[in-house]
């Protein structure tokens, strides 16, 4: 059940974003969002790279009875995720315009795509930590905690989208800010959950 709830949370996250952007910014907003979504997938993949990879090594270490090694692997997985997040933030910000063109932004959509990505990619660090933490905590018998985090994150995302787009008129920057802030909220939830994890931050 927690696994299904977690997947539902992810689905609601994307669905809510699409619905609010579509109603608030129309076809142009949806076009910009669809062009930008691959970058969300890239950051998610980087986080899962360290999260699932670390979880595999942690499970192996625990199976061998090496709990201290499992602690260290848990810590290193999060540290590497953080380093990747910082480096990717710098890289994407430096090459923002070429990145938008590479993703297929036409002249008509370029400014909206740039507004979205320049805001969202500023949250690359918490987003990658959120993805990595999701895998690590789920692997540590924390599927229910992950489900709560993802479902609450999807709700916050819809609320923030509505406020930033309809009330504050922030356009695509508002949509990106909502997504980034929600990733930060979930990441902080994961940080709180670490105290309940058997293999949480070790030496």
pLDDT of residue 203: 47
**DSSP three-state, residue 64:** coil
Distance CA 91, CA 110 (A): 19
Q: Reduced to 3 states, what is the DSSP secondary structure of residue 203?
A: coil
Contact 168, 174 (CB under 8 A): yes
pLDDT on residue 2? 43
In a domain, 57, yes or no: yes
| Tokens found for residue 21 | 């952007």
d(CA 67, CA 87): 30
pLDDT of amino acid 8: 60
Classify residue 196 by its DSSP letter.
Answer: G
- How confident is the prediction along the chain (203 residues), in pLDDT tens digits per residue? 444 544 565 667 677 788 899 999 999 999 999 999 999 889 989 999 999 999 999 999 989 999 899 889 998 999 999 999 999 999 999 999 999 999 999 999 999 999 999 999 999 999 899 888 888 888 877 777 777 777 788 888 889 999 999 999 999 999 999 988 888 777 666 655 555 555 554 44
- Cα 170 to Cα 174: distance, rounded to the nearest angstrom: 5
Cβ atoms 58, 139 nearer than 8 A: yes
Is 124 a domain residue?
A: yes
pLDDT value at residue 10: 61
Tell me, yes or no, whether 171 lies in a domain: yes
Q: How far apart are CA 48 and CA 121, in angstroms?
A: 17
203 inside domain? no
In a domain, 35, yes or no: yes
d(Cα 8, Cα 4) in Å, to the nearest integer?
Answer: 6
With tokens 């933030």, the residue in question is: 89
Q: What is residue 80's predicted lDDT score, i.e. its pLDDT? A: 96
Element (H, E) at 30: helix 2-63
Residue 28 CB contacts under 8 Å (≥ 6 apart), including other chains: 108, 109, 112
Whole-number CA gyration radius for the chain: 18
- At 3 the pLDDT is 45
The angle, 0 to 180 degrees and rounded to 10, between the axes of the packed helices 67-94 and 2-63 is 120
Task: Quote the pTM value.
Answer: 0.87
Task: Write out the residue range of the structural domain in which residue 39 sits.
Answer: 2-196
Looking at the structure of the chain, the number of domains it has is 1
């Amino acid at each position: 059940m927690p696994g299904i709830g977690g997947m539902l949370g992810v689905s609601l996250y994307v669905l809510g974003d699409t619905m609010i952007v579509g109603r608030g910014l129309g076809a142009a907003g949806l076009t910009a969002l669809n062009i930008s979504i691959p970058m969300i997938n890239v950051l998610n993949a980087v986080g899962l790279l360290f999260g699932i990879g670390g979880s595999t090594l942690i499970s192996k270490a625990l199976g061998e009875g090496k709990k201290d090694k499992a602690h260290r692997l848990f810590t290193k997985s999060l540290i590497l995720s953080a380093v990747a997040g910082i480096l990717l933030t710098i890289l994407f910000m430096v090459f923002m315009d070429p990145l938008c063109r590479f993703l297929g932004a036409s002249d008509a959509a370029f400014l909206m795509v740039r507004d979205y990505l320049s805001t969202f990619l500023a949250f690359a660090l918490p987003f990658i930590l959120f993805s990595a933490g999701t895998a690590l905590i789920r692997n540590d018998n924390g599927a229910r905690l992950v489900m709560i985090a993802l479902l609450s994150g999807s709700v916050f995302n819809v609320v923030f989208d509505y406020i930033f787009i309809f009330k504050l008129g922030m356009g695509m920057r508002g949509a990106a800010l909502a997504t980034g802030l929600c990733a930060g909220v979930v990441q902080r939830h994961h940080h709180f959950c670490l105290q309940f994890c058997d293999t949480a931050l070790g030496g």
